[in-house]
Chains A and B, each alone.
Chain A
Amino acid sequence: MTGAVDPRDVLPTVIHHPLRLAVLSSLRHVEAADFVSLRDAFATTSAEMSRQLGILESAGLVEVLKSRKDRQVVTQARLSDHGRTAFATYLEELRRISEGLG
């Protein structure tokens, strides 16, 4: 018996969801994005985007920041440091699996 871990078992399941995977992929290239840009870029509803960001925030992958501008609440999301590392590891594991190394 070896101590090798199957990469399939270490992949965080919270990232498997297609929308959450895409949101993390897009956030990887920017410092932060505002909520409206995210919602429009993924052609989804505010409620759904809010729900998915909430799940990512609960997992510690994303930070959601709220501020006030012209008496309106502006919401921004950014990858947390942990999220950035975890997502890079996730992509690396995906590559390993797709290349048959896993």
Chain B
Amino acid sequence: MDDAAARQALADAQSAPSLVTRPSSAEVLAGAASVALVAAAAPLAVATDAVREIRWVVAAAVWVVVLAWLTRRRPGARLRGRVDGVAFWACLAAALLPVGQLLWSPDSVGGAAVAGSVAALLLGTFLGVRWRR
């Protein structure tokens, strides 16, 4: 292969069509609902003042994992990158933070609300990056 052929092959590789597809309406709706769920789960659980309500916080975190898996499964889904990877793990950590609060200091709804908001923001970032064309 000579220099010109290599340049042509590189140009061909760079101009290859994109296979990235937009998410379906159902996926966007599920994403928006999930952001709301993650934002609400922790403060609602803490507000009930019952340790057993940890299950709702854990359920929200599990749903984040399921949603992340679903967004990768769709054909044409953008390849996972560093930014969405960081946003995902940070979201999961923020979503699970109120578990400790429920166990050891279940009186402060404010802390759980902040953690829930941060987790929701990170989930929104994650989804936004995943859905970018």
Q: Does A72 contact B (CB under 8 A)?
A: no
Quick check: A30 and B1 within 8 Å, CB to CB? no
Of all chain B residues, the one with the shortest Cβ separation from A32 is: B75
Cβ 8 A contact of B13, one of A21, A33, A34, A76: A21
Q: Does B32 contact A (CB under 8 A)?
A: no
In chain A, positions 14-51 with a C-beta closer than 8 Å to chain B are 16, 18, 21-34, 37-38, 41-42
Quick check: A95 and B79 within 8 Å, CB to CB? no
Known: A94-B10, A95-B10. A26 touches B76 (CB 8 A): no
Quick check: A41 and B19 within 8 Å, CB to CB? yes
Quick check: B78 and A30 within 8 Å, CB to CB? yes
Task: Point out the residues of chain B lying under 8 angstroms from A33, CB to CB.
Answer: 19, 75-76
Shortest CB-to-CB span from A23 to chain B, Å, is 8
Q: Does B25 contact A (CB under 8 A)?
A: no
Quick check: A30 and B12 within 8 Å, CB to CB? no
Task: Point out the residues of chain A lying under 8 angstroms from B13, CB to CB.
Answer: 21-22, 24-25, 91, 94
Q: Which of B3, B14, B17, B74: most chain A CB closer than 10 A?
A: B17
Known: A31-B78, A37-B76, A97-B1. A26 touches B12 (CB 8 A): no
Binary contact track A44-81/B, C-beta < 8 Å → 1, others 0: 00000000000000000000000000000000100000
